[in-house]
Amino acid sequence: MIEHTVLGRPGGDNALWVRVNTGQQIHRLLFDCGSGCIGPLGSAELQAIDHLFFSHFHMDHVAGFDGFFRINFSRDTKPVHVWGPAQTIDLMQHRFQSFWWNLHEEQTGSWIVHEILPDQVKLARMEVCEAFAIRHPLESTAVDPLISNPDYRVSVRLLDHRGPSAAYRVDEEARCNVNPERLTRSGLRPGPWIQALKSPEAGGRVQVDGIDCDLDQLRADLLDHSPGASIAYLTDFRLDEPWTERLAEWLAGCDVLVCEAQYAQTDALLAQQNFHSTSLQVAELARRAGVGKLELFHLSRRYPDFIWREMGREARSVFPNTKFPAAWNL
């Protein structure tokens, strides 16, 4: 299950908090870190975040980072992973070193910074015990997917904001569960063999109550398969016809699209000049991609509330399942 919350307020800085809940483990992901956004999460959730993803480094997307850093700079339970487009390593190191480090030698805490380029992801590790002064280069990794593990994967597209703005998509891996009714009808008792049944790497045969059984046949008889949930985060980008076509293919079938609606359609020329998108344009993107839901955020403060509501109605005329974050009451 993927849970998400858009942080911040309409017309202010925003961020996206995502939890991938497998039932046995919760993975926490934060997308951008605007001013005043992370406070509602609390220290425990912030200290448990696995990955912080930046779309780009304009002030309204990074102004809350100092609060995140203060809580996590010496986290010793696991490294902090930070992701972003070109210049991420330079900018993060400058941010780390913008404080006075004179009591750091005995502190623990590692930060792994990932810089997403068109053809590779560059990595550098930095340590609080070294006052973040030394970059330890790590082996580069592939761009797509950025992250792939048994529970979820993260993919990326670099959008055009007169410079790269990273868009991210999170896909939960397909779920595989034993159907309890069919298990009862089979007469087989649950046991350690269930783990082999659910493991795609396991093959051949397995002993169940002393009976030699074919694993592939048991899977066909007992397992239910369902696709995992998915969510995408897109902000600060120019959206024209070629980009709409490319992004619609990448976003195809996504359950939730969290997307900027910086401008009303009447200001489409201004949106183009400032490398942003309109509510009507992103609604058309959602329609073509066949997403389940479009959630609009990152609204321009140039508009009063009633214009934001009109932008929502405008978007729903193209893509009916368009919402604002529930807490915004728009």
Q: Give the catalytic positions in this structure.
A: 60
DSSP SS3 for 267:
helix
Eight-class DSSP state of 129 = G
Separation of alpha carbons 27 and 239, rounded Å:
31
Separation of alpha carbons 123 and 259, rounded Å:
28
Separation of alpha carbons 123 and 140, rounded Å:
6
State phi, psi for 69 to the nearest 5 degrees.
-65, -40
| Cβ contacts of 117 within 8 Å, gap of 6 or more | 85, 86, 143
Separation of alpha carbons 296 and 261, rounded Å:
6
| Cβ contacts of 57 within 8 Å, gap of 6 or more | 84, 87, 88, 91
Nearest Cα neighbor of 177 from 145, 220, 144, 222 is: 222
Whether residue 105 contacts residue 129, with contact meaning beta carbons closer than 8 Å, is answered with yes
List the structure tokens of 163: 């410079």
